Structures are given as structure tokens and as C-alpha cells.
Structure 1
Amino acid sequence: MTLTGTGALPRTGSFAATGVLTRLALRRDRVVLPVWALVTGGLVASGAGSLEGLYGTAAERAELAASMTANSSMRAMYGPVFGDSLGGLVAWRFGTFGAVLAAVASLIVVVRHTREEEETGRQEMLSAGAVGRRAPLTAALLAALTLNTAVALVVTAGLAGQGAAGALALGLAIGGTGMVFATAAALAAQFTESARLAKGLTAAVLGLAFVLRAAGDAGTADGSSVLTWLSPVGWAEHVRAFAGERWWVLLLLLAAVLVQTAAAYALTARRDVGASFLATRPGPAEGRLASAGALAWRLQRGTLLGWSLGFLLGGLVFGGMVEGAADIVGGNEPAREIFERMGGQSALTDAFLATMVSLFGMLAALYAVGSVLRPGTEETSGRAEPLLAGALGRLRWAAGHLVIAFAGSALILTLAGLGLALSYGHDLGPVLGAVLAQLPAVWTLAGLAVLLWGAAPKAATAAWGVAGLCLALGWIGPALGLPQTVLNLSPFGHLPKLPGGQEMTWTPLLALTALAAALTAAGLAGLRRRDLLT
């Protein structure tokens, strides 16, 4: 609709108010962006110190590179080893995961400042002023660019001692991958009416890219597979940091960013605020959801299905790697000690399997936290208020989501255990018991999320930070030699290392379960007493 007359708003350019919106986005994410940059970049940069402690001589590094290149399971997980220098091993071990972390952070940032703003109605209020049509999207992409630039700088500075060119190449590869998926998220936001669906679509593309790279690297030892070249994650690998850098591969990442940005700009100019090109189909004239639990299931079933498939496939992949654990360690005593710290003082294969089980537990906590915070999204979007205006009570409304969070985490861990047992050929009982032993720690973090959402909803996102910290402590802490008192800050630090070697101890499991119940009860009590977010 065009406004005319003396009261009409002034005409604005397509990018008007981009600077204001960018400053607003950076201010809103003033804590999240630095944390993501330091965690992602620091994870990669810290790899040099841990690998140097494990493989201190050139002969040890050469032996590791040769054994990893010959192991198809390891290539599928980390990619081929292009160089046996310390920097080359860092790029092999941490480059792919650094790129994936940057991609995840980038897609979250872009969707948060585009589709989520439209979904909550805030963007419509802003657009009523002198804001250009492309300004919100540009501000979101600039926020993502700031994040990925910071990641690249942290990686480059942290690894400069291993070779300035290699450090810069690795930093640009990781940051460039993040921008590819930032622009992919910008494109997905044009097609969906839901921020959750936009994140899901982009995450699915990221998952497909990782699978293509893994399949290609598993089939060829030199990374020459067509499947690897079809994946942006594979492009980051083919920059070959610290191994005769291929600077021209960065042009592929740049081209993908430019093409997707142009497409997103073209589409955003052709739709109304809040609308999408794939509109949600109207529901039936008469509702078919008979309860709050049925509504919660309808809202969360897609997410649960995606996590279930991911955990089952992950179990199958990791199970196939267990027999290759000896190749990773060889005769390296420090590496063996790290696996034993993570997986218990048991046989090496059992310690490796226990390490994978622990990783699945920490990842399941991310699912549980996201599922618990789902009703918070319903609150802020205004969809919860009409439901609660009737006879539906707050506790019954929240219970539907919490049942899915707690039971869903048990389901995905069960599927991971099934995949591990089938792929490794181990008895199902011990493996399934080991993964389900992770549940008390998972539920403790979920209970903390309930407490934050119920009692202090504006601080609810801190639950993600706690879950991320626990993941970092459990996965990186043993490699850095952190004392057990620090590792015990995470609930996962109190769990028995199963299967094999260590006996089942029920005391920490029961204590964590009781703590999870207490946190959940306190959170629900807070939900009953506070006002709804609007």
C-alpha cells in the first residue's frame, strides 16, 4: 500500500537505516557473539598445544598422519591428513568441526535477526518507520560477518606461530564456511513463516554437506571425491591450510556467499513483512488437537525426528570407528591417558566407546535444553496467551513440552546406543545401559533450563551457555589436562565411565536425578507465579 498526502512517510532507499539495525543487532548479541567467537576460534587454536603434548616429535606426527590417512572411518570423521606438521594436524583434527561450529552460530544469528523478528511482530513495527526493504537482512548478515571475522582472527592469531600463511588460510576457511551458511539461512528465511523451520532447513543443509564430505573422504584418501567437492564443508578442507595452501578454493566460498546473498535480496524485495514463499497450509475447520500435550507434540515432532535420525546415524558411524581406536593411539601413552580420562581406566576400545557414549550424552543435553525452551518461544510470539486465557492451566500447558524434552532425550540416546551396538557388534545391553546412564546429567541441565525459563525467563538463554560449557569441559577438558575438580563442575563429570572397566555406581545417578526433579519443580513453581512474556 502506498501512502500519500501530508501524513505519508518519506520514501526510503532499500538499505535505509542499515547502520541503526546493525548496531541494534550487535548490541542484542553483545555477549553471545564474543562467546561464540572465542569458543569456536579458541577450540581450533588450542589444538596446537594439546597435539604437541601428544605427538611431540616429527616421527610421531608422521606415524599419526599415515595411520589416519589409511583409516576410512577416521577420514569420514575428520577428513584426510594433508600435512604432518603440527599446524597440518590441527587443521585436520579441528578444521572441520570449527567450520561446522561457525556455520551453526551463523545460521542462528541470521534467523534471529530476520525471520524471528518478523515472527514476533517486531520487524513490522520497525518497518513502519524509515527502514529500507533490505536493511533488516543486511544488518543480520553484517552481524554474522562480524562473528565470522572474529572467529577468523582468533584462529589466525592463535596459530600464527605454526605459520602465518597456514593460520590465515585456516581462519578464512572456517569464517568463509560460516558465511556460506549465514547466507543460506538468509535464503531459507524467505521461504518459511517460522524461525524454527528456517533454522531446521539450514541445519539440514549443513548436515547434508557434512554427510557428503564424510562419504567422499571415506571413499578416497586424498579428498578427490566428487562428493567432497559438492560440500562447502569439503571446500574448507580443500583450502589445505599448513599443507601448500590452495587460496583459490576460498573463491568457491566467496561465490556461494555472493550468489545466495543476491538470491535472498531478490526474494525479500518480493514479499511482505511476515509473509513467505512457502506459506503454511491452513488447518482444518475444526481442531483435531484434543490436549495441550497433543499441541506440544505437533510443535516438536519434527525436531525430535531430526535428532532421532541424527543420533541413530551417529551411533552407526561412531560404532564403526571403535575398532580403529588403536590406530589413533598407537603406542602414544599421552593419547591413551586422555582416552582413559574421558572413557575410564579400561581396555582401549571400551574407553573409546565410553568416550563416544559421553559425547552423545552431552549432545542430548542440547536437544533437551532446546525442547524445554520451546514454550518460551510460544510465549514471546503471543501464541501462548490465547491458550492460557481459557481453562488450560500453565502447568498442564508446560507439561506437554517437558514430557517431550525428558522422554525425547531418552529416546535419542536409546537410538544412539542401538546404532553403536549394531555397528560395533557389541552386546546391546551394556551399550544401551551406558548411554541411558547419561540421562541424569542430561535431565539436570534440562531442569536448570526449566528453572531459568520458569523463574527468570529473560535469562533463559543462559541455559545454552551452561550446556555449551559442559560440552566444552567434557570434550576438551581432558585433552587440556584440567583437574578433576574443574571437570566435576559439569554433571557429566560425576557419571560412571561405561561400558567396561568401571562398575556401575548408582549414587551419582540418583543424586543427579533428584537434583533434576528439584530444579524442574522450582521452575514450574516460578512459572505459576510470574506474568507471561509479551
Structure 2
Amino acid sequence: MNALTGTRTLARLALRLDRVRLTAWILGLSVMPMGTAANYFQLYPTEQELRAVSGVLTNPSLVALSGPLFDLSIGGLTAWKIGVTEFILVALMSMLTVVRHTRTEEETGRLELLGATVIGRYAPLTAALLVTTLANVTIGVLAALGLTATGLPAAGSVAFGLATALVGTLFAAVAAAAAQVTGSARAATGITGAVLGGTYLLRAVGDTGPTWLTWLSPIGWGLHVRPYGGERWWVAALFLVTAAAFTTAGYALAGRRDVGAGLLAERPGPVAAAPGLRSSFALAWRLHRGLLLGWTLGLAATGAVMGGAAAGIADLTSPNQQLSDVLARMGGRAGFTDAFLGAIFGITGMVAAAYTVQATLRLRHEESSGRVEALLATRVGRVRWAAGHLVFALLGTALLLTVAGVAGGIAYGAQIGDVGGQVGRLLGAALVQLPATWVLAGLGTALLGLAPRLSSLAWAALIACVLITELGALFGLSQWLLDVTPFAHVPKLPGAAFTVTPVLWLTAVAVALGAAGLAGLRRRDMPVT
């Protein structure tokens, strides 16, 4: 038996387990670019209309958000609009797939059971990378074919598909290495997610400031393949070399650790628990504090970067109807700067919602790992146990949005000389997103209580919110579908007037979903694996 024995069998098993999940990812990420191009052909049928909007898209603030526009054409506009979103989503798909079939399998003990059969040391990691790479290549090929089918040049379409596949493959390699370093799937996902967030910020700063920072970011590399704008095929070499380095590191680390353990050994705990660890709430704090700290630092950096970039919107001196339409889709009609800020904090709210979902689903992780049984054998009840985690999902999100709003207000206020006035305005724009994130927490709780095996659908709901919010107006979706996402009902502060009614409705929906979930949690069997 060699180290790769059983790779084919494990790859087939992974494809079987992820047949629905990966199919949804592949179809969604393949159709998005094609749909965007088709709609731009309708929105801008003539070169004159394209030229009218060109001044908007080259504004530094929008460049920080979506990257540079390399060519004034339907293809260039499509790559500008969908490129960053496509790259982030394909990176998330790759990260989650690799971690699920490596570290998660070890953490649950299933991989150790498989390892007792004829399975080589490197077979699980190889199978995870093969499946993820296959998914990325499929997305790239289908995206290229779809863009070509809309009438865009074949070379640019292939470049876009190639960039998408390479971004996903690179982050699969990063996840493979992270899964060897840590002892938990949550930590591996957190490390890879931090790398993804950092690369986005590096690109945003590099595209509007020191350009060398962009070349430290794989997302920046993907944009600088320059689909439809004088393709740079040599940039693919950066992806291949970096992915090979992370993959090599992953295999090297996998051969130097025990199954079920990470390269960084967990510290042994004290013989007796500290006095402050005598309640279920204290235990929840112990489990959530690292995650909350990491997200807090990330949201602070994001708020500061995007708040600082917002000042550039005021430089737009020749607004036109196309500009009004673009900014209206982004966040309102009460002024270009306020519309941009509304868009920024709408996106920030959805980013913070990722923490909300992650913290809520910690309940499911504790249940499936078997640790909750020992806790519930004490005087701690189910609702009390769940409430300890939900406090951090709800109030932790409030902390994240507060930090983002304050950081954005300071950065933007410093640019225009009004720190005191802007901190309050942007803090309000951030916190008004809170009820929408709570709806996702309520949905996650309802799934945990009523259908625990489907709890991962909370992530699907968040991704659907992102896609509908970002692309719904462009695709001309029906208003009823746009209204499905809770973020569609959030007041578009600071540009629009604040209305309390939608905030109250969103909060009521979140409470109702959470109550249903807790009621189901009290009555169902535990654990459900």
C-alpha cells in the first residue's frame, strides 16, 4: 500500500456526499457571469451609452470596492462588476469543501475509522483537493462558455474562466495547509477566511494607492489577468507557483502529525476549572472569544479602508442618468457619497452576518461532536445552553457592526474634517443592518431545532442574500424576489430617512424563528448526527 491508496474511492465518496452542494455552487457561479453580460448588453446597447458611464466606474471609491475597469466594453464592464464577487465566492466554495473533507472528517472521527482500512496517508487530502479542483475547473469552463455564448470575445471569456478557476484552486491549497496546522475545522476555516479577507483589503488599498499591494493579493491577480482588456496570461503563473507552494506545505505537514491532531498541539488545560468557568454562559464565552476577536479586528480594518475610500465619491462632478442608476442600485438616491456609504455598510452587514451564522451554528458543532451530552447531563437545560451561544451570535454581531461603523466614521470624517459628525452617522448606518443579521440567526436556530441535519442551509440563505442584493437589480428580478432577503428592507442610511417599521418587522421575524427553533430543540432527540 502506498500513501495515495484509496484516493479514487475517497474522491467518489466526496462527490457523492457533495453532489447537491457542489452542483448548486457550480451552477450559480457559472450562470452569474453570463447573466451579468446578457443584462449589460440590454442596459448599454451602444458605445455612446457605455462612454456615459465610464467616468463613474473609474472613480477611486468604486475602484476600491470592485477593482479597476481595464476596458470600456461590455466584456470589461462584466469583468469589473462580477469579478471580485465571483472570486470571493469561488474561494469560499473551495475553502469549505477542502476543510469539510479533511479536518472535519478527522474531528468527527470518521477519517480515523476509514484509516483503519486500506487508505493511504495522503489519500484524504488528495481526494479533497482533486474534488475541489474538478469543481473549480468545471466552473471556469462553464463560465467561459457562457460568456462566449452571450457574444463576448472568446479570449476574454477564457481569461475570466481561467482566473476564476485559479483563484478557487489557490484557496483550496491554502485551506489544505491550514487544515494541517490546526486541530479543528472551525480554526482552519477561520485561518483561510482571514487570508481571503486580507487579500481583499490588500487589493482595495493597492488599486487606489500603492499598486504593489495589489500584487500581494490573489484577488488582485485574478483581476489583473485582465479579461477583455488585453489579457495577461502570464499572471496564471503566480497562481500556479503559490498554489503549488501551499499544496506542498499541506502534504509536508500532513506527514508530520497524528491523525486527529494539528501541527500546533493544543495546550493541556488546568486540573480544575477557573472560578469564572462555572456556567454554560462562561463556557460559551470561552468557545467564542477567539472567533469574535478575529472578526472584530477584520471588521475594524474593513470599515476603516472603505470609510477612507468614500471621500473620493465627492470628486464626481458630472453625474448622469447612468451614474444615478448605478448608485441607486448600490444604496439610495440621497447623494452620491451617502449612496456609496449606504452600499458599503449594506455589504458590511452581510459580511457581519457570516459571523452571525458561524456563531449560531456552533450549537450544531457542539452537538455533532458529542460534547453537549456531557453538559446537558448536569443541571444545564437545553434552552439555557443554546441561549449562551446565541447571546454571542446576536450581541457579537452588534459589536462587529459598531466597530465597523466607528472605524468607518473616523476614517471618512478625517478625510473631510468632520470626525465627530460622521462617526454618529456611519455608526447608525452600520447598526441598522443588525435586525437583518438577526433574521439569519433566527433561521439558523429554527433549522437547528426543527431540522438539524439541514442546519447548513443557513449558509445557503446568506449566499442567496448576497447574490440577490448585489445582482438582483441588474438581472431585473421581480420585486417579490428582491424582498425575500432581509437586507432589502433595511433603511439605506445615511442617505435615506430612518423608518422604524421595517426594523421592528425584521426583529419580530428573527424572534419568531428563534422561538420556534428553541421550542423544537426542547422536544427533539439529542444528539442528531
- TM-score, normalising length: structure 1: 0.91
- 1:29–1:274 CA distance, 2 compared to 1 (3 A): same
The residue that corresponds to 1:510 in the other structure is 504
Q: Given the alignment, which residue of 266, 271, 280 partners 1:280?
A: 266
The residue that corresponds to 1:295 in the other structure is 283
The residue that corresponds to 1:45 in the other structure is 34
The residue that corresponds to 1:20 in the other structure is 9
Question: What is the Cα-based RMSD across aligned positions, in Å?
Answer: 2.2
- 1:497–1:273 CA distance, 2 compared to 1 (3 A): same
Q: Given the alignment, which residue of 72, 83, 99 partners 2:71?
A: 83
- 1:189–1:393 CA distance, 2 compared to 1 (3 A): same
The residue that corresponds to 1:257 in the other structure is 243
Post-superposition CA distance 1:154-186 (Å, at most 9, x none): 320221121111111111111111111101111
Residue 62 (structure 1) shift: 4.8
Larger mean Cα displacement after TM superposition, 481-490 or 211-220:
211-220
Post-superposition CA distance 1:61-119 (Å, at most 9, x none): 456556644x4443333333322222122223322332222112111110110011001
CA distance in 1 between partners of 2:225 and 2:326 (Å): 30
Post-superposition CA distance 1:211-252 (Å, at most 9, x none): 3333332225xxxx4332233222222222212222222122
The residue that corresponds to 1:134 in the other structure is 122
Larger mean Cα displacement after TM superposition, 459-468 or 93-102:
93-102
Letter in 2 for 1:282: P
Residue 341 (structure 1) shift: 4.7
CA distance in 2 between partners of 1:482 and 1:319 (Å): 30
Question: Secondary structure, in 3 states, of the residue corresponding to 1:185?
Answer: helix
The residue that corresponds to 2:460 in the other structure is 465
Contact 2:61 2:313 in 1 (8 A): no
Letter in 1 for 2:3: S
Q: Given the alignment, which residue of 255, 263, 271 partners 1:269?
A: 255
Question: Secondary structure, in 3 states, of the residue corresponding to 1:248?
Answer: helix
Q: Given the alignment, which residue of 121, 132, 139 partners 1:144?
A: 132
The residue that corresponds to 1:491 in the other structure is 486
- 1:519–1:484 CA distance, 2 compared to 1 (3 A): same
2:444 maps to 1:449: yes
Question: Secondary structure, in 3 states, of the residue corresponding to 2:70?
Answer: coil
Q: Given the alignment, which residue of 343, 349, 365 partners 2:353?
A: 365
Aligned residues: 517
Question: Secondary structure, in 3 states, of the residue corresponding to 1:242?
Answer: coil
The residue that corresponds to 1:29 in the other structure is 18
Letter in 2 for 1:200: G
Contact 1:65 1:83 in 2 (8 A): no
- 1:335–1:301 CA distance, 2 compared to 1 (3 A): same
Residue 279 (structure 1) shift: 0.8
Contact 2:207 2:214 in 1 (8 A): yes
CA distance in 1 between partners of 2:365 and 2:317 (Å): 45
Question: Secondary structure, in 3 states, of the residue corresponding to 1:262?
Answer: helix
1:25-424 pair list within 5 angstroms: 25-62=14-51, 64-65=53-54, 68-69=57-58, 71-160=59-148, 161-219=151-209, 225-288=211-274, 289-325=277-313, 330-424=318-412
Letter in 2 for 1:189: A
Residue 198 (structure 1) shift: 0.9
CA distance in 2 between partners of 1:434 and 1:253 (Å): 37
CA distance in 2 between partners of 1:219 and 1:348 (Å): 22
Larger mean Cα displacement after TM superposition, 276-285 or 265-274:
265-274
CA distance in 2 between partners of 1:209 and 1:279 (Å): 28
Contact 2:34 2:147 in 1 (8 A): yes
Contact 1:363 1:471 in 2 (8 A): no
CA distance in 1 between partners of 2:117 and 2:317 (Å): 61
Residue 56 (structure 1) shift: 4.1
- 1:202–1:341 CA distance, 2 compared to 1 (3 A): closer
CA distance in 2 between partners of 1:267 and 1:435 (Å): 41
Letter in 1 for 2:230: G
Question: Secondary structure, in 3 states, of the residue corresponding to 2:426?
Answer: helix
Larger mean Cα displacement after TM superposition, 510-519 or 123-132:
510-519
1:517-528 pair list within 5 angstroms: 517-528=511-522
Larger mean Cα displacement after TM superposition, 459-468 or 411-420:
411-420
Contact 1:72 1:219 in 2 (8 A): no
CA distance in 2 between partners of 1:48 and 1:483 (Å): 19
Residue 152 (structure 1) shift: 0.5
Letter in 1 for 2:20: V
Residue 330 (structure 1) shift: 4.8
- 1:176–1:322 CA distance, 2 compared to 1 (3 A): same
Post-superposition CA distance 1:269-290 (Å, at most 9, x none): 2322112211111111211222
Identity between Structure 1 and Structure 2 (%): 50
Larger mean Cα displacement after TM superposition, 267-276 or 192-201:
267-276
